Amino acid sequence: MTDALIRSMSRRPSRALARPGIVLAFAIALSYLVGLWLTWMHARSGGTPLASGALVSHALRVGTIALPALFAASWLGVLLARRVVGTDERAGTPALRSATLTISVAATAAVAFALLEPLHAVLFGGGHHHGGGPLLMQMARDGFLAFLPSLAVAGVLAAILASRAPWSAPDVRGWASSPTRVRRLALPGLVAVLVLAPTALAAQLGSERAVAASGPGTPCPATAPVKHFDVQSIDVKITLNRFGDNDPIGKMYVLSDRVAAVRAEEASG
Protein backbone atom coordinates (compact mmCIF):
# COMPACT_ATOMS: atom_id res chain seq x y z
CA MET A 1 0.00 0.00 0.00
CA THR A 2 2.80 2.41 0.92
CA ASP A 3 4.66 1.76 -2.34
CA ALA A 4 1.48 2.33 -4.35
CA LEU A 5 0.85 5.63 -2.57
CA ILE A 6 4.43 6.79 -3.13
CA ARG A 7 4.28 5.85 -6.82
CA SER A 8 0.96 7.67 -7.17
CA MET A 9 2.34 10.81 -5.51
CA SER A 10 5.57 10.72 -7.52
CA ARG A 11 3.58 10.98 -10.74
CA ARG A 12 2.01 14.23 -9.58
CA PRO A 13 3.72 17.54 -10.51
CA SER A 14 5.67 19.08 -7.63
CA ARG A 15 3.45 22.17 -7.64
CA ALA A 16 0.56 19.93 -6.50
CA LEU A 17 2.46 18.26 -3.65
CA ALA A 18 2.94 19.19 -0.02
CA ARG A 19 4.69 17.38 2.82
CA PRO A 20 2.09 15.16 4.53
CA GLY A 21 3.64 15.50 8.00
CA ILE A 22 3.55 19.30 7.83
CA VAL A 23 0.00 19.31 6.49
CA LEU A 24 -1.15 16.83 9.15
CA ALA A 25 0.31 19.02 11.91
CA PHE A 26 -1.72 22.00 10.65
CA ALA A 27 -4.84 19.85 10.18
CA ILE A 28 -4.77 18.38 13.70
CA ALA A 29 -4.10 21.72 15.40
CA LEU A 30 -6.81 23.51 13.42
CA SER A 31 -9.38 20.73 13.69
CA TYR A 32 -9.24 20.35 17.46
CA LEU A 33 -8.29 23.82 18.70
CA VAL A 34 -10.47 25.85 16.35
CA GLY A 35 -13.15 23.15 16.63
CA LEU A 36 -13.17 23.70 20.40
CA TRP A 37 -13.51 27.45 19.86
CA LEU A 38 -16.45 27.01 17.47
CA THR A 39 -18.16 24.55 19.82
CA TRP A 40 -17.89 27.05 22.66
CA MET A 41 -19.18 29.89 20.46
CA HIS A 42 -22.13 27.78 19.30
CA ALA A 43 -23.04 26.94 22.89
CA ARG A 44 -22.90 30.64 23.84
CA SER A 45 -24.87 31.97 20.87
CA GLY A 46 -28.07 29.98 21.07
CA GLY A 47 -27.05 26.32 21.13
CA THR A 48 -27.51 23.92 24.02
CA PRO A 49 -25.37 24.99 27.03
CA LEU A 50 -22.61 22.44 27.63
CA ALA A 51 -20.73 21.65 30.82
CA SER A 52 -16.94 21.79 30.53
CA GLY A 53 -16.57 18.01 30.20
CA ALA A 54 -19.34 17.75 27.60
CA LEU A 55 -17.88 20.75 25.75
CA VAL A 56 -14.48 19.09 25.38
CA SER A 57 -16.05 15.75 24.42
CA HIS A 58 -18.23 17.38 21.78
CA ALA A 59 -15.26 19.39 20.46
CA LEU A 60 -13.18 16.19 20.11
CA ARG A 61 -15.93 14.64 17.99
CA VAL A 62 -16.25 17.81 15.91
CA GLY A 63 -12.48 17.88 15.39
CA THR A 64 -12.32 14.23 14.34
CA ILE A 65 -15.10 14.70 11.79
CA ALA A 66 -13.35 17.84 10.48
CA LEU A 67 -9.90 16.21 10.07
CA PRO A 68 -10.20 15.14 6.40
CA ALA A 69 -11.55 18.54 5.31
CA LEU A 70 -8.91 20.42 7.33
CA PHE A 71 -6.16 18.21 5.90
CA ALA A 72 -7.31 19.10 2.37
CA ALA A 73 -7.63 22.78 3.35
CA SER A 74 -4.13 22.85 4.89
CA TRP A 75 -2.69 21.12 1.83
CA LEU A 76 -4.29 23.78 -0.39
CA GLY A 77 -3.05 26.52 1.94
CA VAL A 78 0.54 25.28 1.67
CA LEU A 79 0.28 25.18 -2.13
CA LEU A 80 -1.14 28.71 -2.24
CA ALA A 81 1.65 29.99 0.00
CA ARG A 82 4.29 28.36 -2.20
CA ARG A 83 2.71 29.90 -5.28
CA VAL A 84 2.84 33.36 -3.68
CA VAL A 85 6.38 33.20 -2.28
CA GLY A 86 7.81 31.15 -5.15
CA THR A 87 10.13 28.18 -5.10
CA ASP A 88 13.40 30.10 -4.76
CA GLU A 89 14.36 29.70 -1.08
CA ARG A 90 16.71 32.70 -1.39
CA ALA A 91 13.83 35.04 -2.27
CA GLY A 92 12.08 36.71 0.63
CA THR A 93 12.70 36.32 4.33
CA PRO A 94 11.58 33.34 6.46
CA ALA A 95 9.29 35.70 8.38
CA LEU A 96 7.55 36.78 5.16
CA ARG A 97 7.18 33.18 4.02
CA SER A 98 5.78 32.14 7.40
CA ALA A 99 3.31 35.04 7.38
CA THR A 100 2.17 34.12 3.88
CA LEU A 101 1.75 30.49 4.93
CA THR A 102 -0.20 31.56 8.03
CA ILE A 103 -2.67 33.69 6.08
CA SER A 104 -3.23 31.16 3.29
CA VAL A 105 -3.74 28.19 5.66
CA ALA A 106 -6.04 30.22 7.95
CA ALA A 107 -8.14 31.36 4.97
CA THR A 108 -8.55 27.85 3.54
CA ALA A 109 -9.30 26.47 7.02
CA ALA A 110 -12.04 29.08 7.57
CA VAL A 111 -13.62 28.08 4.25
CA ALA A 112 -13.45 24.41 5.28
CA PHE A 113 -15.18 25.08 8.60
CA ALA A 114 -17.89 27.02 6.76
CA LEU A 115 -18.46 24.14 4.33
CA LEU A 116 -18.60 21.64 7.22
CA GLU A 117 -21.54 23.42 8.91
CA PRO A 118 -24.28 21.46 7.03
CA LEU A 119 -22.59 18.13 7.88
CA HIS A 120 -22.31 19.07 11.56
CA ALA A 121 -25.98 20.09 11.61
CA VAL A 122 -26.94 16.66 10.24
CA LEU A 123 -24.67 14.64 12.54
CA PHE A 124 -25.05 16.63 15.75
CA GLY A 125 -28.41 18.33 15.24
CA GLY A 126 -29.17 21.99 15.75
CA GLY A 127 -29.06 21.77 19.54
CA HIS A 128 -25.33 22.38 19.87
CA HIS A 129 -25.25 25.02 17.15
CA HIS A 130 -26.17 28.66 17.04
CA GLY A 131 -29.74 29.78 16.87
CA GLY A 132 -31.07 29.09 13.41
CA GLY A 133 -31.16 31.31 10.37
CA PRO A 134 -30.61 30.49 6.68
CA LEU A 135 -27.99 27.82 6.02
CA LEU A 136 -25.78 30.13 3.97
CA MET A 137 -25.79 32.67 6.81
CA GLN A 138 -24.80 29.97 9.30
CA MET A 139 -21.98 28.83 7.00
CA ALA A 140 -20.72 32.39 6.58
CA ARG A 141 -20.89 32.92 10.34
CA ASP A 142 -18.85 29.76 10.99
CA GLY A 143 -16.24 30.84 8.46
CA PHE A 144 -16.00 34.29 10.03
CA LEU A 145 -15.78 32.90 13.56
CA ALA A 146 -13.11 30.39 12.51
CA PHE A 147 -10.78 32.78 10.68
CA LEU A 148 -9.17 34.66 13.57
CA PRO A 149 -8.49 31.59 15.75
CA SER A 150 -7.25 29.76 12.64
CA LEU A 151 -4.91 32.68 12.01
CA ALA A 152 -3.55 32.40 15.57
CA VAL A 153 -3.13 28.60 15.46
CA ALA A 154 -1.57 28.61 11.99
CA GLY A 155 0.75 31.49 12.96
CA VAL A 156 2.12 29.67 16.01
CA LEU A 157 2.61 26.45 14.07
CA ALA A 158 4.22 28.23 11.09
CA ALA A 159 6.67 29.92 13.46
CA ILE A 160 7.54 26.60 15.11
CA LEU A 161 8.06 24.87 11.75
CA ALA A 162 9.78 27.80 9.99
CA SER A 163 13.21 26.18 10.15
CA ARG A 164 11.85 23.20 8.20
CA ALA A 165 10.54 25.39 5.35
CA PRO A 166 7.00 23.96 5.58
CA TRP A 167 5.98 25.62 2.30
CA SER A 168 8.50 23.60 0.27
CA ALA A 169 7.62 20.56 -1.87
CA PRO A 170 8.35 17.04 -0.57
CA ASP A 171 11.13 14.82 -1.88
CA VAL A 172 8.90 11.95 -3.00
CA ARG A 173 11.72 10.12 -4.77
CA GLY A 174 13.70 10.25 -1.55
CA TRP A 175 10.88 8.39 0.19
CA ALA A 176 11.07 5.60 -2.36
CA SER A 177 14.86 5.31 -2.16
CA SER A 178 14.95 5.02 1.66
CA PRO A 179 11.88 3.02 2.71
CA THR A 180 12.49 2.83 6.46
CA ARG A 181 10.00 0.96 8.64
CA VAL A 182 8.68 4.20 10.15
CA ARG A 183 8.25 5.75 6.72
CA ARG A 184 6.51 2.67 5.34
CA LEU A 185 4.02 2.74 8.21
CA ALA A 186 3.52 6.51 8.12
CA LEU A 187 1.37 6.73 4.99
CA PRO A 188 -1.03 3.89 5.90
CA GLY A 189 -1.32 5.40 9.38
CA LEU A 190 -2.11 8.77 7.82
CA VAL A 191 -4.85 7.20 5.70
CA ALA A 192 -6.31 5.49 8.79
CA VAL A 193 -6.36 8.75 10.76
CA LEU A 194 -7.92 10.75 7.95
CA VAL A 195 -10.40 8.17 6.63
CA LEU A 196 -11.19 5.38 9.08
CA ALA A 197 -11.58 7.35 12.33
CA PRO A 198 -13.84 10.13 10.93
CA THR A 199 -15.90 7.63 8.93
CA ALA A 200 -16.45 5.37 11.95
CA LEU A 201 -17.42 8.32 14.14
CA ALA A 202 -19.78 9.75 11.51
CA ALA A 203 -21.45 6.34 11.12
CA GLN A 204 -21.88 6.04 14.89
CA LEU A 205 -23.36 9.54 15.20
CA GLY A 206 -25.66 8.92 12.25
CA SER A 207 -26.99 5.69 13.75
CA GLU A 208 -27.52 7.37 17.14
CA ARG A 209 -29.56 10.15 15.54
CA ALA A 210 -31.57 7.62 13.51
CA VAL A 211 -32.43 5.68 16.67
CA ALA A 212 -33.30 8.89 18.53
CA ALA A 213 -35.58 10.02 15.72
CA SER A 214 -37.40 6.67 15.44
CA GLY A 215 -39.50 7.18 18.59
CA PRO A 216 -39.73 8.71 22.04
CA GLY A 217 -38.08 5.71 23.70
CA THR A 218 -38.65 4.84 27.35
CA PRO A 219 -37.60 7.83 29.46
CA CYS A 220 -38.93 6.25 32.69
CA PRO A 221 -37.66 3.02 34.26
CA ALA A 222 -39.97 0.03 33.91
CA THR A 223 -40.25 -0.17 37.71
CA ALA A 224 -41.42 3.46 38.13
CA PRO A 225 -44.84 3.73 39.86
CA VAL A 226 -47.79 4.86 37.74
CA LYS A 227 -49.95 7.60 39.28
CA HIS A 228 -53.32 8.87 38.06
CA PHE A 229 -54.78 12.32 38.70
CA ASP A 230 -58.38 13.45 38.10
CA VAL A 231 -57.96 17.02 36.82
CA GLN A 232 -60.48 19.56 35.55
CA SER A 233 -60.03 22.80 33.60
CA ILE A 234 -62.35 25.45 35.08
CA ASP A 235 -63.19 29.12 34.50
CA VAL A 236 -62.37 31.16 37.56
CA LYS A 237 -62.11 34.83 38.51
CA ILE A 238 -58.53 35.21 39.75
CA THR A 239 -57.93 37.97 42.29
CA LEU A 240 -54.61 39.71 41.65
CA ASN A 241 -54.14 41.99 44.66
CA ARG A 242 -55.82 43.38 47.79
CA PHE A 243 -57.23 46.33 45.86
CA GLY A 244 -59.68 44.11 44.01
CA ASP A 245 -57.92 43.91 40.65
CA ASN A 246 -58.79 40.57 39.06
CA ASP A 247 -58.84 38.51 35.92
CA PRO A 248 -62.55 37.70 35.35
CA ILE A 249 -61.88 35.16 32.60
CA GLY A 250 -59.06 33.24 34.24
CA LYS A 251 -58.44 29.55 33.57
CA MET A 252 -57.13 27.00 36.03
CA TYR A 253 -56.34 23.31 36.17
CA VAL A 254 -57.69 21.93 39.46
CA LEU A 255 -57.86 18.46 41.01
CA SER A 256 -61.51 17.37 40.94
CA ASP A 257 -61.68 17.01 44.71
CA ARG A 258 -60.37 20.58 45.13
CA VAL A 259 -62.88 22.39 42.90
CA ALA A 260 -65.19 23.26 45.81
CA ALA A 261 -62.27 24.76 47.79
CA VAL A 262 -61.21 26.86 44.78
CA ARG A 263 -64.77 28.13 44.32
CA ALA A 264 -64.86 29.13 47.98
CA GLU A 265 -61.61 31.07 47.60
CA GLU A 266 -62.98 32.68 44.44
CA ALA A 267 -66.11 33.86 46.29
CA SER A 268 -64.08 35.31 49.17
CA GLY A 269 -61.69 37.13 46.85
Complete DSSP assignment for 45-105:
TTS----HHHHHHHHHHHHHHHHHHHHHHHHHHHHHHHHHH-S-TTSS-HHHHHHHHHHHH
Residue 243 lies in a domain: yes
User: Are 134 and 260 in a shared domain?
Assistant: no
- Are 69 and 161 in the same domain? yes
In this predicted structure, the answer to whether residue 180 has a pLDDT above a threshold of 50 is yes
Residue 148 has pLDDT above 90, yes or no: yes
pLDDT (mean) for 15-34: 88
Note the pLDDT tens digit of each residue in 79-115.
999 888 876 555 567 888 899 999 999 999 999 999 9
More confident residue, 248 or 186: 248
If asked whether residues 252 and 204 sit together in one domain, one would say no
- CA distances from residue 21 to 169, 197, 234, 243, 263 in whole angstroms, order as listed: 12, 18, 72, 78, 78
**pLDDT score at 103:** 95
Both 59 and 84 in one domain: the answer is yes
Same domain? For 208 and 245 the reply is no
Q: How many structural domains is the chain composed of?
A: 2
Within a domain: residue 121? yes
Do 253 and 183 have their domain in common?
A: no
- Please tell me which residue, 151 or 90, carries the higher pLDDT value: 151
- Helix, strand or coil for residue 134? coil
Radius of gyration (C-alpha) of the chain in whole angstroms: 29
Pair 51, 148 in one domain = yes
Question: Does one domain contain both 128 and 29?
Answer: yes
Please give the helix or strand (H or E) that residue 252 lies within, else none.
strand 246-255
Domain closes at, from 214, 242, 257: 214
What's the rounded Cα separation, in Å, for the pair 132 and 126? Answer: 8
Are residues 144 and 108 both part of a single domain? yes
pLDDT for 127 equals 47
45 domain-assigned: yes
- Per-residue pLDDT for 56 more than 70? yes
Range of the domain at 246: 231-268
The b-or-e profile of 203-222 (16+ CB within 10 A means b, else e) is eebeeeeeeeeeeeeeeeee
Q: Is residue 221 part of a domain?
A: no
The pLDDT of residue 49 is above 60: no
Q: Which residue has the higher pLDDT, 179 or 223?
A: 223
- Whats the size of the chain, residue-wise? 269
Q: Are residues 82 and 199 in the same domain?
A: yes
Residue 157 CA neighbour count, 13 Å, CB half: 26
Cβ-count burial 153-192 (b if 16+ within 10 Å, e if not)? bbbebbeebeeebbbbbbebeebeeeeeeeeeebbeebee
